[in-house]
Amino acid sequence: MIKLILIIVGIIVLIIALVKLMDKFLPQKMRPIVTILLFLLSIVFGYLIYQSITGPIRFAEIKKERFSKVISSLKDIRNSQEAYKTVNGKYAKDFKSLVSFVDNGKYIITSKKDSSFSRFNKNFGIDMPVDTVVVKVLDSVPVRDSIFKNDMRYKTMMNVPGSDGVKFEMEATIINKGGYNVSVFEAKAPKSAVLADQPKDLQARENEHNSVEEVDGTHITVGSLTQVSTSGNWPPTYDRKEN
Protein backbone atom coordinates (compact mmCIF):
# COMPACT_ATOMS: atom_id res chain seq x y z
CA MET A 1 0.00 0.00 0.00
CA ILE A 2 2.87 2.41 0.80
CA LYS A 3 4.42 1.63 -2.59
CA LEU A 4 1.12 2.42 -4.29
CA ILE A 5 0.81 5.76 -2.47
CA LEU A 6 4.34 6.72 -3.56
CA ILE A 7 3.49 5.87 -7.16
CA ILE A 8 0.34 8.00 -7.04
CA VAL A 9 2.23 10.94 -5.53
CA GLY A 10 4.95 10.56 -8.17
CA ILE A 11 2.39 10.62 -10.99
CA ILE A 12 0.72 13.75 -9.60
CA VAL A 13 4.07 15.54 -9.29
CA LEU A 14 4.98 14.51 -12.85
CA ILE A 15 1.73 15.84 -14.29
CA ILE A 16 2.08 19.15 -12.42
CA ALA A 17 5.66 19.47 -13.69
CA LEU A 18 4.55 18.78 -17.27
CA VAL A 19 1.80 21.40 -17.04
CA LYS A 20 4.25 24.04 -15.83
CA LEU A 21 6.73 23.18 -18.55
CA MET A 22 3.96 23.39 -21.12
CA ASP A 23 2.96 26.88 -19.94
CA LYS A 24 6.54 28.04 -20.03
CA PHE A 25 8.02 26.53 -23.18
CA LEU A 26 5.27 25.06 -25.34
CA PRO A 27 3.92 27.13 -28.28
CA GLN A 28 0.30 28.15 -27.96
CA LYS A 29 -0.86 26.07 -30.93
CA MET A 30 0.65 22.86 -29.48
CA ARG A 31 -0.98 23.18 -26.07
CA PRO A 32 -4.38 21.65 -27.01
CA ILE A 33 -2.69 18.52 -28.39
CA VAL A 34 -0.47 18.12 -25.33
CA THR A 35 -3.45 18.76 -23.07
CA ILE A 36 -5.38 15.93 -24.73
CA LEU A 37 -2.37 13.60 -24.43
CA LEU A 38 -2.01 14.44 -20.74
CA PHE A 39 -5.71 13.83 -20.25
CA LEU A 40 -5.46 10.40 -21.91
CA LEU A 41 -2.35 9.63 -19.90
CA SER A 42 -4.22 10.53 -16.71
CA ILE A 43 -7.01 8.10 -17.66
CA VAL A 44 -4.49 5.32 -18.26
CA PHE A 45 -2.71 5.96 -14.96
CA GLY A 46 -6.04 6.21 -13.18
CA TYR A 47 -7.11 2.85 -14.56
CA LEU A 48 -3.82 1.23 -13.53
CA ILE A 49 -4.16 2.65 -10.04
CA TYR A 50 -7.74 1.41 -9.83
CA GLN A 51 -6.64 -2.05 -10.95
CA SER A 52 -3.81 -2.13 -8.43
CA ILE A 53 -6.31 -1.40 -5.63
CA THR A 54 -9.28 -3.52 -6.68
CA GLY A 55 -7.29 -6.39 -8.26
CA PRO A 56 -6.17 -7.98 -4.97
CA ILE A 57 -9.68 -7.50 -3.53
CA ARG A 58 -11.31 -9.34 -6.44
CA PHE A 59 -8.59 -11.99 -6.28
CA ALA A 60 -9.33 -12.61 -2.59
CA GLU A 61 -13.05 -12.98 -3.32
CA ILE A 62 -12.48 -15.38 -6.22
CA LYS A 63 -9.91 -17.34 -4.21
CA LYS A 64 -12.24 -17.80 -1.25
CA GLU A 65 -15.12 -18.94 -3.44
CA ARG A 66 -13.00 -21.46 -5.38
CA PHE A 67 -11.03 -22.70 -2.37
CA SER A 68 -14.31 -23.33 -0.54
CA LYS A 69 -15.47 -25.66 -3.33
CA VAL A 70 -12.13 -27.47 -3.42
CA ILE A 71 -12.11 -27.90 0.35
CA SER A 72 -15.67 -29.23 0.25
CA SER A 73 -14.51 -31.93 -2.20
CA LEU A 74 -11.50 -32.72 0.00
CA LYS A 75 -13.87 -33.20 2.94
CA ASP A 76 -15.89 -35.66 0.84
CA ILE A 77 -12.68 -37.54 0.04
CA ARG A 78 -11.69 -37.57 3.72
CA ASN A 79 -15.13 -38.83 4.83
CA SER A 80 -15.02 -41.56 2.20
CA GLN A 81 -11.48 -42.56 3.16
CA GLU A 82 -12.35 -42.74 6.85
CA ALA A 83 -15.30 -44.99 6.03
CA TYR A 84 -13.07 -47.15 3.83
CA LYS A 85 -10.56 -47.54 6.66
CA THR A 86 -13.30 -48.38 9.17
CA VAL A 87 -14.39 -51.31 6.99
CA ASN A 88 -11.07 -52.37 5.43
CA GLY A 89 -8.52 -51.39 8.06
CA LYS A 90 -6.56 -49.15 5.71
CA TYR A 91 -7.08 -46.27 3.28
CA ALA A 92 -7.82 -46.63 -0.44
CA LYS A 93 -4.88 -45.99 -2.75
CA ASP A 94 -6.88 -44.71 -5.71
CA PHE A 95 -10.20 -43.11 -6.57
CA LYS A 96 -11.46 -46.14 -8.48
CA SER A 97 -11.34 -48.24 -5.33
CA LEU A 98 -12.75 -45.43 -3.20
CA VAL A 99 -15.73 -44.69 -5.47
CA SER A 100 -16.48 -48.41 -5.83
CA PHE A 101 -16.45 -48.75 -2.05
CA VAL A 102 -18.86 -45.85 -1.56
CA ASP A 103 -21.12 -47.39 -4.20
CA ASN A 104 -21.19 -50.88 -2.69
CA GLY A 105 -19.70 -50.75 0.83
CA LYS A 106 -21.72 -51.23 4.00
CA TYR A 107 -21.27 -50.49 7.67
CA ILE A 108 -22.05 -53.53 9.81
CA ILE A 109 -23.91 -52.57 12.98
CA THR A 110 -23.27 -54.96 15.84
CA SER A 111 -23.98 -55.24 19.53
CA LYS A 112 -21.61 -56.65 22.11
CA LYS A 113 -22.76 -58.28 25.32
CA ASP A 114 -20.60 -59.57 28.13
CA SER A 115 -21.70 -63.02 29.22
CA SER A 116 -20.35 -65.04 32.14
CA PHE A 117 -21.05 -68.65 33.10
CA SER A 118 -19.48 -71.41 35.16
CA ARG A 119 -17.70 -74.47 33.78
CA PHE A 120 -16.49 -77.50 35.78
CA ASN A 121 -12.70 -77.68 35.84
CA LYS A 122 -11.53 -81.29 36.10
CA ASN A 123 -8.03 -80.30 37.21
CA PHE A 124 -9.28 -78.40 40.22
CA GLY A 125 -12.53 -80.29 40.72
CA ILE A 126 -14.59 -77.12 41.01
CA ASP A 127 -16.78 -74.86 38.89
CA MET A 128 -14.82 -71.88 37.53
CA PRO A 129 -16.22 -68.69 35.93
CA VAL A 130 -15.77 -68.14 32.19
CA ASP A 131 -16.04 -64.63 30.72
CA THR A 132 -17.20 -64.33 27.10
CA VAL A 133 -18.33 -61.57 24.74
CA VAL A 134 -21.30 -62.26 22.50
CA VAL A 135 -21.25 -60.26 19.26
CA LYS A 136 -24.53 -59.97 17.39
CA VAL A 137 -25.01 -58.47 13.92
CA LEU A 138 -28.00 -56.13 14.07
CA ASP A 139 -28.05 -54.45 10.68
CA SER A 140 -26.01 -53.05 7.81
CA VAL A 141 -26.05 -49.49 6.44
CA PRO A 142 -24.84 -48.55 2.93
CA VAL A 143 -21.84 -46.23 3.11
CA ARG A 144 -23.27 -44.12 0.28
CA ASP A 145 -26.46 -43.36 2.22
CA SER A 146 -24.56 -42.65 5.42
CA ILE A 147 -22.19 -40.07 3.89
CA PHE A 148 -23.89 -38.66 0.80
CA LYS A 149 -27.61 -39.40 1.26
CA ASN A 150 -29.15 -39.12 -2.21
CA ASP A 151 -26.30 -37.03 -3.66
CA MET A 152 -24.14 -38.65 -6.34
CA ARG A 153 -21.29 -36.13 -6.15
CA TYR A 154 -18.92 -38.80 -4.84
CA LYS A 155 -18.66 -40.17 -8.39
CA THR A 156 -16.81 -37.00 -9.43
CA MET A 157 -15.01 -36.18 -6.18
CA MET A 158 -11.67 -36.86 -7.90
CA ASN A 159 -12.14 -33.75 -10.08
CA VAL A 160 -10.76 -30.44 -8.79
CA PRO A 161 -13.61 -27.86 -8.87
CA GLY A 162 -12.90 -24.73 -10.88
CA SER A 163 -10.04 -26.28 -12.85
CA ASP A 164 -9.79 -27.37 -16.46
CA GLY A 165 -10.00 -31.14 -16.01
CA VAL A 166 -7.39 -31.35 -13.24
CA LYS A 167 -7.81 -34.24 -10.78
CA PHE A 168 -6.84 -34.43 -7.12
CA GLU A 169 -3.55 -36.17 -6.38
CA MET A 170 -4.17 -38.95 -3.85
CA GLU A 171 -1.87 -41.47 -2.21
CA ALA A 172 -2.14 -43.96 0.63
CA THR A 173 0.62 -45.87 2.37
CA ILE A 174 1.72 -47.49 5.62
CA ILE A 175 4.14 -45.69 7.94
CA ASN A 176 5.72 -46.71 11.22
CA LYS A 177 4.88 -44.54 14.22
CA GLY A 178 6.03 -45.49 17.70
CA GLY A 179 6.69 -49.04 16.64
CA TYR A 180 3.25 -49.47 15.05
CA ASN A 181 2.39 -49.66 11.36
CA VAL A 182 -0.28 -47.07 10.59
CA SER A 183 -2.26 -46.46 7.42
CA VAL A 184 -2.18 -42.84 6.18
CA PHE A 185 -3.43 -40.99 3.11
CA GLU A 186 -3.08 -37.59 1.48
CA ALA A 187 -5.16 -35.82 -1.17
CA LYS A 188 -4.25 -32.44 -2.63
CA ALA A 189 -4.76 -29.98 -5.46
CA PRO A 190 -2.32 -27.30 -6.70
CA LYS A 191 -3.47 -23.74 -6.14
CA SER A 192 -2.19 -22.92 -9.62
CA ALA A 193 -4.87 -25.17 -11.14
CA VAL A 194 -7.65 -23.54 -9.12
CA LEU A 195 -6.45 -19.99 -9.84
CA ALA A 196 -5.11 -20.57 -13.36
CA ASP A 197 -6.88 -17.55 -14.88
CA GLN A 198 -5.77 -15.12 -12.17
CA PRO A 199 -2.78 -12.69 -12.29
CA LYS A 200 0.54 -14.51 -11.96
CA ASP A 201 1.93 -12.06 -9.40
CA LEU A 202 -1.04 -12.62 -7.10
CA GLN A 203 -0.73 -16.39 -7.57
CA ALA A 204 2.95 -16.22 -6.61
CA ARG A 205 2.08 -14.24 -3.49
CA GLU A 206 -0.63 -16.77 -2.62
CA ASN A 207 1.82 -19.67 -2.84
CA GLU A 208 4.11 -18.00 -0.31
CA HIS A 209 1.53 -17.88 2.49
CA ASN A 210 2.61 -19.24 5.86
CA SER A 211 -0.12 -18.16 8.23
CA VAL A 212 -2.86 -19.73 10.36
CA GLU A 213 -5.32 -17.47 8.57
CA GLU A 214 -4.46 -18.72 5.08
CA VAL A 215 -4.09 -21.96 3.13
CA ASP A 216 -0.34 -22.49 3.41
CA GLY A 217 1.93 -23.58 0.58
CA THR A 218 1.36 -24.34 -3.07
CA HIS A 219 -1.40 -26.95 -2.55
CA ILE A 220 -4.74 -27.34 -0.78
CA THR A 221 -4.25 -30.58 1.16
CA VAL A 222 -6.03 -33.02 3.46
CA GLY A 223 -4.26 -35.81 5.31
CA SER A 224 -0.52 -36.53 5.40
CA LEU A 225 1.87 -39.21 4.21
CA THR A 226 4.33 -38.52 7.03
CA GLN A 227 2.04 -37.87 10.01
CA VAL A 228 -1.01 -39.67 11.43
CA SER A 229 -3.47 -36.93 10.52
CA THR A 230 -6.64 -36.40 8.48
CA SER A 231 -6.64 -32.63 8.97
CA GLY A 232 -6.58 -30.11 6.13
CA ASN A 233 -4.13 -27.23 5.72
CA TRP A 234 -6.90 -24.65 5.50
CA PRO A 235 -7.86 -22.18 8.28
CA PRO A 236 -11.03 -22.61 10.43
CA THR A 237 -12.88 -19.97 8.38
CA TYR A 238 -13.39 -22.56 5.64
CA ASP A 239 -15.11 -24.90 8.10
CA ARG A 240 -17.89 -22.48 8.94
CA LYS A 241 -21.36 -23.33 7.67
CA GLU A 242 -21.63 -20.30 5.42
CA ASN A 243 -18.70 -21.60 3.41
pLDDT at 5: 58
Asked whether residue 60 carries a pLDDT value surpassing 60, the answer given is yes
List, in sequence order, every residue forming a beta bridge with 220; answer none if it has no partner.
189
Residues 6+ apart with CB under 8 A from 134: 112, 113, 114, 115
Mean pLDDT, the chain, whole residue set? 81
**What CA–CA distance (Å, rounded) separates 222 from 215?**
11
Q: For 75-128, how does the pLDDT look when each residue is reduced to its tens digit (9 = 90+)?
A: 999 999 999 999 999 999 999 999 999 999 887 654 555 555 555 555 655 655
Asked whether residue 136 carries a pLDDT value surpassing 60, the answer given is: no
pLDDT digits (tens, 9 = 90+) for 219-243: 999 999 999 999 999 999 898 764 4
| Burial per residue of 218-230, b for 16 or more beta-carbon CB atoms within 10 angstroms, e otherwise | ebbbbbeeeeeeb
Lowest mean pLDDT among 56-70, 85-99, 110-124, 202-216: 110-124
Which helix (H) or strand (E) element contains residue 239?
none
- The pTM score is 0.72
Out of 13-17, 114-118, 158-162, pick the least confident.
114-118
Task: Please check whether residue 104 is in contact with residue 97, taking contact to mean a CB–CB distance below 8 angstroms.
Answer: no
